Amino acid sequence: MRVMAQMSMVMNLDKCIGCHTCSVTCKQAWTNRDGTEYMWFNNVETRPGQGYPRGYEDQEKWKGGWELDKRGKLRQKGGGRLKKLLTLFANPLLPGIDDYYEPWTYEYDNLLNAPAQQNIPTAPPKSQISGKPIDIQWSGNWDDDLGGTYANKDKDPMIRGIEEKVQLEFDQTFMFYLPRICEHCMNPTCVAACPSGAIYKRSEDGVVLVDQDDCRGWRMCVSGCPYKKVYFNHKTGKAEKCTFCYPRLELGEPTICAETCVGRLRYIGLVLYDADRVTDAASTPDEKDLYEAQKDLILDPYDPEVMAAAEKGGISYDWILAAQNSPIYKLIKEYEVALPLHPEYRTLPMVWYIPPLSPVVDSVADSGFDAEDADNLFAAIDTLRIPVEYLANLFTAGDVPTVERVLYRMAAMRSYMRDVDLGREPKEGIANAVAMTGQTMRDMYRLLAIAKYDERY
């Protein structure tokens, strides 16, 4: 056992309002410079939708992440390292600017300095890259709130294979938001792909960084990252990516995206994991088992053996305490409501998500049941407005029961707590039905609902 510490994040998608405050505060702080205009270290996607860059989840096209070869050994999907080394000077498989979007600004001077003219002045759009007039065709968040999604429904890779479950009709409409930052993976492809050794995973907290001095602009990291969260700065010729706000982290402050998250849905915390078992976990044969395998890598911070190994490995007592109090540990391991994004990429991502729960009662009510009856709540998950299969494609490599288990717990919490709120005797049976106790249900409720600043970070 080799214990390492990993700073990680959980986002509760059930609380996300899709406001993009995270994107804007991140951008204002980090990427409003020349060459970074199109970059969003943090972005928010409306799902169903194509995401940013468009269709990034289609790894048959982009070849990001890892795969198992015929012998069951882990290798980069974009080709073995030999291929990478031999084709160092060829263009890697990269999204073009149209796949992101061509950032633009406006001829604002037309307003203030307009000479006398026939019409009210306006400021036409122009490209921030070329400075030339632009016909806006795509943006960093073009399909927000399902704009144009109907026409582009075949372009969301997550719908493929479940077309009959996903009806994009007015009365069947569903949507939710997926905020994304770099996953700071336990098994990052970008690091493995970098020929210059410029991308590295910080030993002390697992944050994945690009060394701006060492980067030579090969862009292998851009190709390798299946989440497309490494970007190429076309002015400096260097790769840039989310830094987990390490200059803030080092001062004990949460990331900008987390602290400014108006939905209060982001949790940050430390987990301890066994670095020796990373490759084995990432090599789990059945991709539906990857979630459990990764969860299993995360060590119990109260386990005396783990604590001893951690101290031996140079992890300070304060950090062990932090891991013990980590909301991430609770959400992933204790309540088991957080799931990784695309475990099938085998990068062992460390930004996890609680899937969205809504609307439940709607479905039950239409079938004539009493909406607040706990038994019916569980039956209703099958008829959620958001198809469970769609969520499973995002979070469990298609494994539906795991997603359902999470949604059951969330629904049960609401049902259990309603009695508490109305001053009635809460029903322990509701908690037991989802393999929890009333007390753990209250604890989970406190973390998800009350969620004070110090409890979130």
Partner 1 sequence: MNAQDASRDRPRGGKIDDSLIDALIGSRRLVTPSGRMTEDNRELHKQGGRTADSFYRERWSHDKVVRSTHGVNCTGSCSWRVFVKDGVITWEAQATDYPSVGTDMPEYEPRGCPRGASFSWYTYSPTRVRYPYVRAELMQLFREAKDTVPGRDPVLAWQSIVDDPEKALRFKSQRGKGGLVRASWDEAVELIAAAHVHTIKEYGPDRIAGFSPIPAMSQGSFASGSRFHQLIGAPMLSFYDWYADMPLASPQVMGDQTDVPESGDWWNSSYLIMWGSNVPQTRTPDAHYMIEARYHGQKVISVAPDYAESVKFADQWLAPHPGTDAALAIGMGHTILREFFVERTTPYFDNYVKHYTDLPFLVALDRREDGSLVPGKFVVAADDDIDAGSVRNSADADFKPMMFDTVTEVPVVPNGTVGHRYNDEGLGAWNLELGDIEPALTMLGRHEDVVEILVPRFDTTGVEGRGDAVRGVPVRRYGDRLITTVYDLMLAQYNVGRDGLPGQWASGYDDAEALCTPAWQETVTGVPAGTAAKIGREFAQNALDSGGRSMIIMGSGTNHWFHSDTIYRTFLTLTMLCGTQGVNGGGWAHYVGQEKVRPLTGFTHLAMALDWSRPPRQATQTPYWYIHSGQWRYDQFGTDTFAATTGTGRFAGTSIADTIALSQRLGWQPFYPQFDINSLDVAGRAAAAGQETVPYLVDALKQGEINFAAEDPDAPNNYPRIWSVWRANTLGSSAKGEQYFFRHVIGTEDALDVEETPEEFRPRDVRWREESPTGKIDLMLTLDFRMTTHTLHSDVILPASTWYEKHDLSTTDMHPYVNSFSPAIENPWEARTDWQAWETIAKKFSELAVEHLGTRTDVVAHPMQHDSRGELANPHGRVRDWKAGECEAVPGRTMPNFMEVERDYTAIHEKFTSAGPLLETLGMTTKGLTFDVTEHVERLRGLNGTARSGVGAGQPLLRTDRQAAEFILALSGTTNGKMATEGFKTLEERTGTQLHDLSAEAEGRTIEFSDTQASPQPVITSPEWSGSESGGRRYSPFTINVERMKPWHTLTGRQHFYLDHDWMLETGEAMPVFRPPLSMTALFGEVGIGETTHDGASPGISVRFLTPHSKWSIHTTYVETSPMTNLSRGGQTIWMSVEDAEAVGIADNDWIEAVNRNGVVAARAIVSHRMPQGTAFMYHAPERIIGVPLTERDGKRGGIHNSLTRLMLKPSHLIGGYAQLSYGFNYIGPSGTQRDEVTVIRRRTVPVEY
Rounded (5°) CA angle 180-10-413: 125
The answer to whether residue 112 forms part of the interface with partner 1 (CB under 8 A) is yes
The answer to whether residue 373 forms part of the interface with partner 1 (CB under 8 A) is no
Rounded (5°) CA angle 222-223-228: 55
Give the residue, chosen from 160, 234, 264, 295, that forms a contact with partner 1 under the rule CB under 8 A.
264
Q: Which is nearer to partner 1, 126 or 398 (CB)?
A: 126
Report residue 293 as tokens: 């395998």
C-alpha to C-alpha distance for 415 and 428, rounded to whole angstroms: 11
Q: Which is nearer to partner 1, 23 or 396 (CB)?
A: 23
The answer to whether residue 42 forms part of the interface with partner 1 (CB under 8 A) is no
Work out how close the CB of 448 gets to partner 1 at its nearest, in angstroms, rounded to a whole number: 6
The answer to whether residue 382 forms part of the interface with partner 1 (CB under 8 A) is no
By CB under 8 A, the count of residues binding partner 1 is 138
Coil, strand or helix at 261: coil
Give the residue, chosen from 121, 131, 161, 401, that forms a contact with partner 1 under the rule CB under 8 A.
121
Interface with partner 1 in residues 430-449 (CB under 8 A): 445, 448-449
Nearest to 11 by CA among 355, 411, 396: 355
Select the span of 167-175, 291-299, 320-328, 431-439 touching partner 1 (CB under 8 A). Answer: 167-175
Give me the DSSP letters along 59-122. HHHH--SEEE-TTS-EEETT--HHHHHHTTTSPPS---HHHH---EEE-THHHHTPPS-SS---
Give the residue, chosen from 156, 183, 205, 399, that forms a contact with partner 1 under the rule CB under 8 A.
205
Work out how close the CB of 342 gets to partner 1 at its nearest, in angstroms, rounded to a whole number: 19
Select the span of 24-32, 284-292, 294-302, 392-400 touching partner 1 (CB under 8 A). Answer: 24-32
The answer to whether residue 375 forms part of the interface with partner 1 (CB under 8 A) is no
Give the residue, chosen from 57, 58, 144, 336, that forms a contact with partner 1 under the rule CB under 8 A.
144
Assess whether the previous peptide bond of 304 is cis (omega < 30° from 0): no
Distance from the first to the final alpha carbon of the chain = 27
C-alpha to C-alpha distance for 192 and 135, rounded to whole angstroms: 39
Report whether 199 contacts 191 (CB < 8 A).
Answer: yes
Report whether 155 contacts 50 (CB < 8 A).
Answer: yes
The answer to whether residue 239 forms part of the interface with partner 1 (CB under 8 A) is no
- Backbone angles phi and psi of 180, in degrees to 5: -135, 135
Select the span of 220-228, 286-294, 361-369, 394-402 touching partner 1 (CB under 8 A). Answer: 361-369
The answer to whether residue 196 forms part of the interface with partner 1 (CB under 8 A) is yes
Q: Which is nearer to partner 1, 8 or 187 (CB)?
A: 187
The answer to whether residue 214 forms part of the interface with partner 1 (CB under 8 A) is yes
Query: Can you name the residues that pair with 341 across neighbouring β-strands?
Result: none
Give the residue, chosen from 142, 231, 329, 390, that forms a contact with partner 1 under the rule CB under 8 A.
142
C-alpha to C-alpha distance for 377 and 137, rounded to whole angstroms: 43
Work out how close the CB of 364 gets to partner 1 at its nearest, in angstroms, rounded to a whole number: 9
Report residue 261 as tokens: 């998250």
The answer to whether residue 346 forms part of the interface with partner 1 (CB under 8 A) is no
C-alpha to C-alpha distance for 207 and 204, rounded to whole angstroms: 8
C-alpha to C-alpha distance for 363 and 378, rounded to whole angstroms: 11
The answer to whether residue 243 forms part of the interface with partner 1 (CB under 8 A) is yes
The answer to whether residue 89 forms part of the interface with partner 1 (CB under 8 A) is no
The answer to whether residue 259 forms part of the interface with partner 1 (CB under 8 A) is yes
Q: Which is nearer to partner 1, 90 or 422 (CB)?
A: 422
The answer to whether residue 400 forms part of the interface with partner 1 (CB under 8 A) is no
Coil, strand or helix at 408: helix
Q: Which is nearer to partner 1, 214 or 401 (CB)?
A: 214
Q: Which is nearer to partner 1, 358 or 398 (CB)?
A: 358
Return the axis-axis angle of helices 400-421 and 388-395, rounded to nearest 10°.
Answer: 110
The answer to whether residue 285 forms part of the interface with partner 1 (CB under 8 A) is no
Give the residue, chosen from 415, 431, 433, 434, that forms a contact with partner 1 under the rule CB under 8 A.
415
The answer to whether residue 321 forms part of the interface with partner 1 (CB under 8 A) is no
The answer to whether residue 317 forms part of the interface with partner 1 (CB under 8 A) is no
The answer to whether residue 407 forms part of the interface with partner 1 (CB under 8 A) is no
Coil, strand or helix at 273: strand
